[in-house]
Amino acid sequence: MEFTKIFTTALTLSVLSVSPLFAATADQNQVGFITKSQKQMAVVGAEGKDIVFKNSSGKDVLKVTVPKAKVWLPAGDTAASLVDFSEITTEGNYQAYLNDEPIGHPIIIANNAFEDVTKASLKFFYFQRASTALTEEYAGIYARAAGHPDTDVKYHASTGKTDTEATFDGSKGWYDAGDYGKYIVNSGISTYTLLQLYQQNKEYFKKFNLNIPESKNDIPDILDEIRWNLDWMLTMQDDDGGVFHKLTTLKFSGTVMPEKDVAARYAIGKSVTASWNLAAVAALAAEIYSPYDKDFAVKCATAASKARIWALNNEAALFEQPAGVNTGTYSDGYPIDEEIWANTELYRISKNPVFADVFKKYPFKKFRWVLQSWQYTYALAAFTIATNPEIFDTDIQDSARACIFSLADTILNSLDNNGYGVPLLEEDFNWGSNSFAANKGMVLIHAYILSKEEKYLNAATAIIDYILGRNPLNISYLTGYGVNSAKNPHHRPSQADGIDEPIPGMLVGGPNYSANDCASKYVQYDAVARSYYDNSCSYATNEVAINWNAPFAYVVGSLQAISTTGKTYDIKTVPDHFMEVADGIKAKRNLQKQISVGSKLIIRNGAVQVQKTDRDGKIQYFNVSGKHIR
């Protein structure tokens, strides 16, 4: 792309032109700024002096006096000044100067400044595909052979299966992180986040080309990519409706390419949290995919119902790592938030009051609201409730909005007396600190959708600026993007493929003051935002993961989509009674009886129904709870 070539050349010239003896420094987003967005850089050592911004012709376009320097605690005792140059709204290349010396990196301002990183962060999921070869046409130099077909997956004893010779087809799905495991719980929040990105920005993403094998069909590429993982998630549902917790080998593989990891793969455990995750994601997917593939929508709706019924009847089925297994655990001893989330998604698409009973069982306003993660999914329910005001009761809406704005305003408050303009606290710099940043951005985007207040959009922009370079280490944490980007992620394909540059578009974990691997020697307790080691040996600071890339893609993609279309999500409602799903043990028995020879699930009159043909050829219709429909 021509824009990328110009950008790369400009960056190279800048690095060569900056004098190493120059005292003042500037940290900034190294990729680019959207034309009409907030634009800031953190400058150290220039308080009270004037910074002049010049265009590519050398003409002065803006002069800013550097404000008072302030300490941002995670950066230690280095005081920085936040210099705002948002007044520059003309596309082009710029450079900041202090005393006629260039400071910081070249500044790229463009209407589509975030488009390439949005594509790269979504294309990451294609590079994480299991059970398929990545061809040169779509993967370029990162083409690789197929690994982990997962067509004959064994059942570990922890699943409750007694036939040691039995297998099932658990193909497709995304590798979870730097390893080759596939985990339902982490897939849940990752898939939901990407579905939300599409749901809230359909106009932008309908024609978004990711250059994946499905790009020539009539379905948006982002939905095709998500479908690869949804197809796998559905294979993990047992006949009784419960969902296996993970699909992995018994031990992590070595640093090899996927096709070299040939150890036996197992479905391991069956858990209530995995079941609730599938119920939530499949419910949302049923609505989103209905215009493109009604049969698949029915399949998702049915799976969501069955998973919910199983989870309600197996509340104590918490996952415990079996002896002899040492792959990722994703154990969660408190499944109530997942139950709320799943029933919220089911109620949104069906308006079936039985799903709203969860709000009587667990009053929404009584919970302590925390940032979303694979362990804590209350906020995911709040996102859905708050953006669908015509569906949920007023008091529940109020609680959901209170959750979002409480979190968002707390994030905004952390910007006070903050020289880097980064809404992160010292305690955020733990394992996967960049995911904390991205998930905060997701909260801020929702606050903006609900309020249309620019302060929330600006704070979300600041988070992207931090990830892409406005940080004390002057590093872009997204591989392949920025003058000084992460080069050595803990990611088996990138480590084993023999290619110097890692796969682009991967968000590494980031600074971690609790690092206990090879990065431990870089931990700085008095400057936690510097506790980072760009080395593949450091899983604690440099691993990648789908649940880290997903919120980054959500935030950067939402910012670009909002700017491009000039629109935010329409929060009216989804169509009435999109579907009805089963409830309770009786419904489960009825559903099992109806879905047999001579019966099939269809979408009719906007709802999922069972079409049953008797021996005489007479057709009758039932809802999935077994009630006859005339």
| Amino acid present at 67 | P
CATH of the domain spanning 2-110, picked from 2.40.33.20, 2.60.40.10, 3.40.50.300, 3.30.70.20: 2.60.40.10
Q: Domains of the chain: which residue ranges?
A: 2-110, 115-565, 584-629
The per-residue DSSP string of 269-329 comes to EEEHHHHHHHHHHHHHHHHHHTTT-HHHHHHHHHHHHHHHHHHHT-TT----PPTT--S--
What's the average model confidence in pLDDT over 506-534?
Answer: 97
Write out pLDDT tens, residues 234-257. Answer: 999 999 999 999 999 999 999 999
Write out pLDDT tens, residues 138-175. Answer: 999 999 999 999 999 999 999 999 998 999 999 999 99
Residue carrying structure tokens 């904390």: 436
What's the average model confidence in pLDDT over 34-43?
Answer: 98
- Give 104's contacts (C-beta < 8 A, 6+ positions apart): 25, 26, 27, 28, 41, 43, 95, 96
pLDDT above 60: residue 610: no
Write out pLDDT tens, residues 264-294. Answer: 999 999 999 999 999 999 999 999 999 999 9
pLDDT above 90: residue 586: no
The CATH topology of domain 115-565 is Glycosyltransferase (1.50.10)
Write out pLDDT tens, residues 440-477. Answer: 999 999 999 999 999 999 999 999 999 999 999 999 99
Q: Quick one: DSSP state of residue 366?
A: G
pTM above 0.85, yes or no: yes
Write out pLDDT tens, residues 203-225. Answer: 999 999 999 999 999 999 999 99
Least confident range from 311-320, 322-331, 427-436, 576-585: namely 576-585
Query: If you average pLDDT over every residue of the chain, what do you get?
Result: 90
Region of residue 22 (left: phi > 0; alpha: psi -120 to 50; beta: else): beta
pLDDT above 90: residue 595: no
Q: Quick one: DSSP state of residue 574?
A: P
What's the average model confidence in pLDDT over 104-116?
Answer: 98
Q: State the catalytic residues.
A: 179, 490, 534, 543
Backbone φ, ψ for residue 91 (5° rounding): -60, 145
pLDDT band at residue 608 under the 50/70/90 scheme: low
Instruction: Pick the more confident residue, 481 or 579.
Output: 481
- Alpha carbons 257 and 494: distance in angstroms, whole number: 9
Write out pLDDT tens, residues 338-396. Answer: 999 999 999 999 999 999 999 999 988 777 789 999 999 999 999 999 999 999 999 99
What's the average model confidence in pLDDT over 21-38?
Answer: 90
